Structure 1
Amino acid sequence: MTREGRALPDGWTVDRLRAHSGDTRAVALCPDRLVYVEDGSGGDPEPLHPSYVLAFGELCLVDHDGEWYMGSLRDDGSVACWASYGSDLAEAIRSL
């Protein structure tokens, strides 16, 4: 759990998240928010139902069914994702 009471994936702490990403602002956010994937085709975005939302400034990693999606935190608190970065959180963080 983070100091804010938001859950982190097993084996992860806020300190580990920050050290691995190099971002001292990295935090876990409440996953109870609008999260979706935009595929760039102009069609309707696909909603995601995240277990975890990790914020690194304005970039986010969102866990949906074991896949980490990269996205951008919007002003309204929603997250617009563009692609899956795989099932390994450490690898997804390296893509930030």
Structure 2
Amino acid sequence: MASSFHRQQLREQVGAYVAARFAGDLATAFEMYDANGDKRLSKKELKAFLTDADVGSPQTRWAWTLGTLVETDLNGDGQIEWVEFEEMFAEKLAL
């Protein structure tokens, strides 16, 4: 489980990225990174999102990806559905 510091850092970086790139529209960001349109983010899609949001470094990106997946994947299917994604990040964006 990630520390509260890491969760806060993740939310801040994602919040700043979504605010700057998508005018704060978390749903649009989710849809853009859902490359195959299955309404879920796979590990690869999540990693692309975190890379663009500049979370971690190239050396730690997979650790951030896997940690975020563990924290966010509430139903345990190995992917992040919209509701899970929204729950993780909407608070930072004040949605």
Q: Tell me which structure has the larger Cα radius of gyration.
A: 1
Q: Which has the higher contact order (CA 8 A, sep 6+)?
A: 2
Give the structure with the larger helix fraction. 2
**TM bucket, shorter chain:** under 0.3
Which structure carries more strand by proportion?
Answer: 1
Q: Normalising by structure 2, what TM-score?
A: 0.25
| TM-score, structure 1 normalization | 0.25
